[in-house]
Structure 1
């Protein structure tokens, strides 16, 4: 591998490259007039420009090769074209006026195309839009994307659920590298701040071909904010207040681009007290978060690279029951103290008509978990090697709601007398992703690559949740995109090997071949269909292989199974999209068969009066999809009616239902967009999300009643001191509905989700 890299680097440094440039003009298709301030962007090179008052633009110092150029402007349909340098140097582009929202380039798939040109259906949403809905956290905001929900423990801890699958069945990518933060635990949240994240992409289905093990259920891909345009400086300051938690978030960012170098810095903080329902505050759902992101980029004609760093520290209270009532923001016992460091490097070497992408990452996850003193005693008595944050045996003073003095005493005691962490794990993960894009051959675009991971888990606390172990992954893949006149086809194959080494106790290896094939075609001018078939796999995690202890909150003793096989699935996806000038309709359906699905089941025995559960396997299947409608009626082009319905059903082979499957939901939105002389980018919306009864529950769940939540908001941009000031106002659960989500881990204690919340936010561009 080192020899290959050295050879490619030598070729990059010694080859002779012509300095290419592109000149062009962009016009309005209807009037033929030149358009000013059109954005021109080349995603492979991360180079861009804008047109002048006559619609003219120039891009210089470009390497030879085949590239995509995107042209976008509000009020016009985004257009993309393929060019070959040095043969194409002069362009004339005509943009079609359109009121349909501009599409975005999909980064999570390797060919970086607009969604309408992508063979695989990928959901894309800007973080700005998710935050405008009033979401307190990124995880909460993700539930606004059809087919995506959040598995929560209170407000501060949430993890994505994609079409019924979550935890180690869903991969999270940030800064271009896979995020590893002990995501197998039910109380282990996303661990990422939305500050400094520009957009999110969701692959809803097996993506093991692109990402390897653990992408069996899908991928959540977080795109960091772009660097500043060439030779510019940008800065912004933002803050938001949340009435329900009396909480706030702030962030400050700066970025600049000088000659060939680019820099970016962003810091943010957030603090929230216990969230409130109509009847009570939910004790210890409070949390604090600090986040810092930085990056540096360098680019010349034949080479570009960027290095990014993110450190995130979170103090997360673990709710257990309804106890002390206050608006303090320092977590009580038990709580988590988690620090996550993400180092990433992303480089591209451009050859004549080909390129080499090298992505490297290192993630250092430091997880500390503190618990009540009596919990330590319980662990000593039962030799428990499991997590503290599910405990149900509470101190009597915490259970007494009538004695206000005792509650205040214990809150003060918890805030200021923390013992050494009961659980302390450090997870260090180094990963690499190297892809070579071959020269285009006729209708074929082809990528070959290797991916891998080296991971070490080490324990430092008195409890052992999972043992010290080393995990190694290696995968090799090949993927082709074939362009036909009326269709696009994508095919690929991959081989993976994973080794899990639990020192002196267990050594397991898992191998898997996976493939994918898809086709996209325009049935008519307005109707597009996509059909995709893909396989995926997931190797058992350390908890499933080696656990041996009590989960107090679920009142069960869990025993791992060293003989577990890899989960293997096959999914079929069909997507239909109809887009006309004033109406859009989509329908997505899927059927997902999972062999060797891993789950917990009772043995009928007890240890220390606690029922014993073991990890077993059986085949399972999930099916469902999403349908939606978007109408923007003429001549009221500023008015939008949006409606979507999502459903998923999950069953074992014996027809028992799978746990933690989201209930069916219907979302209706009325949205208006407007411009005033004193207000730009103005909008307002009203949303009603109706979640239906969840009666299809597993043997260890109870049914969950349905509910409807009303939300509304408005916002826009003002000019203050000649700079843009963006203001947002939103309200969630405006009727203060008392409800419990089926995906809330507090459901077993009959604790409500959050009540009415009003948020006020601003962002000032310096």
Structure 2
């Protein structure tokens, strides 16, 4: 599919849908609390992306609606969010909405990750929802790190500027990152490849933990992270904000500006972000590698500086037939790779030269361009959703050729270039059969083309085409018992080209070549399915169960890689004979929720037939400048564990939170644990909202959080154990006013005790390098309302 064809498809998707002659209806109603007090609530229609606010008497009215089924999301601060399914036929509808009071902040957020969009009770899977306020409060530089406060979520880190999420001990191609309905494709197989997502441009995130392959695709075996756009601005409004941040550890300075508006239901939004950071500090002056004690000059890791730039613009229309938007974004990052990660580190190569903000060799330059079209169309009384996307991901690693044992090359300093083009199309048809039954039929297709260049080799050129179709059914047996089930079929083809690598001797080409990988042509086909239920067996008790069997196809990197992955400091080798994984999973979730108390317990279990993983061999590579060899292997394995989260609002402004997680896995063939498993971890917090409201200080809050990570002694053969650690974080926030202009401040500190510790999932752990030391963060947000 050429870019020209894609542009035509995007244009067609954005054409106004010719509305059929239908009668116009009105939905009105009243929103009140349990005691009967009227509420100024926000009412949002999911399918149309529009809504209204109830008046002082709790009354609201939305007119010009066609016959059909709609999902109304009702939210108000201090109350539990409500979702109602409204069916419009021949008459107008009046709603009486009673909202239970809740002091738990996140209960004011609705769950839209459910394919049927009908609320958290109906969803049978474990889902966490966070909004912009949560992300801004916990933003430590990357989108993935902002999610670490949630139980069951950890991160794989390469220094400070690059991280990616881990759900229940799984990452890479077992987690799907969906941005506005399109699966993010950006070399996610590598731990040193960030998500290329601007954390400032994320308004809402829904994390589905457990098997989600049925609706989202085979890469959703461990979970899905849905990045959804925020609520569209009110008609006739024009507003925006400015945010500036500073972090002391690496002198990171970030600025972002956003503007959005709505004129006669023509909506638009634009954002630009810039972040620059220097070499980061660690609480150590030396480290030990291969028996050598090496210096850390000025306690700062050389060449870990970087910069990021991001822009995005979106525009669309909302009509009574549905909505359609087009979003264009580009994320670029230049990041240094720690000098000791390329070749064997020496005291000479680790010496600082010049300023700490210089990005020197080796380094990586990454860009990610996305064009996404989202269209929702009403067809009769049902809804058709179309998501189309094009992504161009470019990753370039630059290094000096002689550091790799080769002489001057035609590629210059470009050691590795990977250029990935991805075309994606998703179609879903949501049909409401009656008050108890509704179904979804969906189709997905994806085509990827990857090309490589540079004087090094890691991943060959390949073309990958895959597609899937599924059927999903939900049955509301009783008001308090909802069940669902579905089936899916997938097929894929990988065509991987042979690669011959030139052989050098004494920095000169010999004219001979080494075959790094042969031609590979693999086709895969399989079935998967799942079912679940949600049961409210007492007033405040909700039990959810989801079981399923899914499969995941081997990726081209797992089949054919054979080179040095410098960001990981290892030689990685693929296996052309790998077979698809097959999983059998069960996910249980119990929650007890009252006005001021929440308890959630989420155990999980999974058996994996032919689990694919990267394992250390203990052998040193024969390639110059490489470390040990890691090979892709396939064994049967078991994953189990769970999460516990609780929140208690004690009154007088105090609240207490606790989030604990544990992952246990076992390789049934080697009788050993699998590598890179996160340790047991507990995060506790105390939050206090001060009863202060002045011109200088309003909405004042403060918090203290303490994380304990246990020792990780359950490691694979040739994998190092990691000692546990304790981290302390604290912060406060407040709002001030200059005239009528509000200013929102946040001050926080991470690793306040400057603890020396190792993160078991950090890529620099292989070099015995500790994590970032003490860091103080300050941010200022200036909301701007133009009209």
1:621 paired with 2:621, answer: no
By how many angstroms is 1:78 displaced?
2.1
* Aligned 8 A contact 1:236 1:254 in 2: yes
Correspondence for 1:311 among 330, 334, 340: 330
| Counterpart Cα distance in 2 of 1:118 and 1:175 | 20
Give 1:271's aligned residue: 276
Correspondence for 1:54 among 54, 57, 69: 57
Correspondence for 2:458 among 465, 476, 479: 465
Give 1:659's aligned residue: 675
Correspondence for 1:702 among 720, 723, 742: 720
| Counterpart Cα distance in 2 of 1:141 and 1:192 | 12
Query: SS state of the match for residue 752, structure 1?
Result: coil
Correspondence for 1:692 among 704, 710, 716: 710
Change (3 A) 1:246 1:34: same
The Cα RMSD (Å) is: 2.7
1:645 paired with 2:660, answer: yes
By how many angstroms is 1:543 displaced?
1.9
| Counterpart Cα distance in 2 of 1:243 and 1:135 | 11
Change (3 A) 1:718 1:748: same
More deviation, 120-129/300-309: 120-129
Change (3 A) 1:472 1:614: same
Offset from partner CA, 1:141-200 (integer Å, 9 cap, x none): 111111010001100111111101111121111122001011112211111111221122
Query: SS state of the match for residue 48, structure 2?
Result: coil
1:357 paired with 2:412, answer: no
1:123 paired with 2:139, answer: no
By how many angstroms is 1:104 displaced?
2.2
Query: SS state of the match for residue 530, structure 1?
Result: strand
By how many angstroms is 1:363 displaced?
0.6
* Aligned 8 A contact 2:77 2:108 in 1: no
Correspondence for 2:418 among 425, 429, 432: 425
Change (3 A) 1:606 1:306: closer
Give 1:739's aligned residue: 757
Correspondence list, 1:160-309, <5 A = 160-279=165-284, 280-309=299-328
Change (3 A) 1:537 1:325: farther
Query: SS state of the match for residue 149, structure 1?
Result: strand
| Counterpart Cα distance in 1 of 2:368 and 2:240 | 25
Query: SS state of the match for residue 21, structure 2?
Result: coil
* Aligned 8 A contact 2:464 2:494 in 1: yes
| Counterpart Cα distance in 2 of 1:355 and 1:720 | 47
* Aligned 8 A contact 1:281 1:325 in 2: no
By how many angstroms is 1:117 displaced?
3.5
* Aligned 8 A contact 2:457 2:564 in 1: no
1:753 paired with 2:753, answer: no
Query: SS state of the match for residue 414, structure 2?
Result: coil
Give 1:567's aligned residue: 581
By how many angstroms is 1:555 displaced?
7.5
More deviation, 87-96/141-150: 87-96
Correspondence for 1:682 among 700, 713, 723: 700
| Counterpart Cα distance in 2 of 1:178 and 1:284 | 32
1:517 paired with 2:545, answer: no
By how many angstroms is 1:569 displaced?
1.1
| Counterpart Cα distance in 2 of 1:257 and 1:558 | 50
Give 2:369's aligned residue: 341
Give 1:401's aligned residue: none
| Counterpart Cα distance in 2 of 1:575 and 1:663 | 21
Change (3 A) 1:550 1:579: closer
* Aligned 8 A contact 2:104 2:647 in 1: no
* Aligned 8 A contact 2:420 2:448 in 1: yes
Offset from partner CA, 1:328-384 (integer Å, 9 cap, x none): 323221111011001100001112320110011111101111013323435999xxx
Correspondence for 1:79 among 72, 82, 90: 82
Change (3 A) 1:113 1:681: farther
Offset from partner CA, 1:380-405 (integer Å, 9 cap, x none): 99xxxxxxxxxxxxxxxxxxxxxxxx
* Aligned 8 A contact 2:337 2:567 in 1: no
| Counterpart Cα distance in 2 of 1:606 and 1:707 | 32
By how many angstroms is 1:107 displaced?
3.1
1:456 paired with 2:470, answer: no
Q: TM-score, normalised on structure 2? A: 0.88
Give 1:154's aligned residue: 159
| Counterpart Cα distance in 1 of 2:10 and 2:155 | 41
Correspondence list, 1:455-494, <5 A = 455-485=448-478, 486-494=480-488
| Counterpart Cα distance in 1 of 2:672 and 2:755 | 31
Give 1:434's aligned residue: 427
* Aligned 8 A contact 2:401 2:413 in 1: no
Query: SS state of the match for residue 210, structure 1?
Result: helix
Give 1:397's aligned residue: none
Query: SS state of the match for residue 18, structure 2?
Result: helix
| Counterpart Cα distance in 1 of 2:14 and 2:403 | 56
| Counterpart Cα distance in 2 of 1:492 and 1:552 | 42
Corresponding residue pairs, total: 726
1:34 paired with 2:38, answer: yes
By how many angstroms is 1:558 displaced?
4.1
Offset from partner CA, 1:720-755 (integer Å, 9 cap, x none): 331332111111111111111111111121111011
Give 1:632's aligned residue: 649
* Aligned 8 A contact 2:735 2:744 in 1: yes
**Gaps spanning 5+ residues in structure 1: where?**
382-417
| Counterpart Cα distance in 2 of 1:143 and 1:123 | 12
Give 2:505's aligned residue: none
| Counterpart Cα distance in 2 of 1:325 and 1:589 | 51
Query: SS state of the match for residue 144, structure 2?
Result: helix
Offset from partner CA, 1:437-490 (integer Å, 9 cap, x none): 113334111100100101101123333321111100110001111112231111
Query: SS state of the match for residue 438, structure 1?
Result: strand
Change (3 A) 1:760 1:481: same
Query: SS state of the match for residue 523, structure 1?
Result: strand
Change (3 A) 1:277 1:462: closer
Give 2:610's aligned residue: 596
| Counterpart Cα distance in 2 of 1:687 and 1:559 | 41
Change (3 A) 1:726 1:577: same
Change (3 A) 1:11 1:251: closer
Correspondence list, 1:711-730, <5 A = 711-730=729-748
By how many angstroms is 1:598 displaced?
1.8
By how many angstroms is 1:90 displaced?
1.9
| Counterpart Cα distance in 1 of 2:132 and 2:300 | 28
Q: TM-score, normalised on structure 1? A: 0.90
